[in-house]
Amino acid sequence: MLRFLLIQPGSTDLDEQGRIKGSLDIPLNEKGADQVARIVEQLSEMEIDRVYAAPCQSARQTAEAVAADHQIKIKCLDRMQNINHGLWHGKLIEEVKTSQPKMYKQYQDHPEQACPPGGESMSQAVERVQAVLTKLLKKHKHGTIALIVSDPLASVVRSLLRHCELNDLWQSEQDNGNWELIELDPGKMALSY
Name the E strands within the chain.
2-7, 50-53, 74-76, 143-148, 179-184
CA distances from 127 to 10, 52, 56, 74 (A): 26, 19, 20, 24
d(CA 128, CA 23): 14
Task: Tell me the pLDDT band of 12, cut-offs 50, 70 and 90.
Answer: very high
Q: pLDDT tens for residues 54-92? A: 999 999 999 999 999 999 999 999 999 999 999 999 999
Rg (alpha carbons) of the chain, rounded to whole number: 16
pLDDT of residue 30: 97
d(CA 59, CA 94): 25
pLDDT of residue 9: 96
Ordered by start, the domain boundaries in the chain are: 2-119+142-188
* Rounded average pLDDT over 106-130: 89
d(CA 89, CA 174): 14
Of 109-118, 165-174, 180-189, the range with the highest mean pLDDT is: 109-118
pLDDT of residue 171: 60
Q: What is the CATH number of domain 2-119+142-188?
A: 3.40.50.1240
Q: Is the model's pLDDT at 4 over the cut of 70?
A: yes
Task: Tell me the pLDDT band of 169, cut-offs 50, 70 and 90.
Answer: low
Q: Is the model's pLDDT at 192 over the cut of 60?
A: no
Q: Is the model's pLDDT at 18 over the cut of 60?
A: yes
User: pTM for this structure?
Assistant: 0.90
**38-47, 66-75, 107-116: segment of lowest average pLDDT:** 107-116
d(CA 174, CA 180): 16
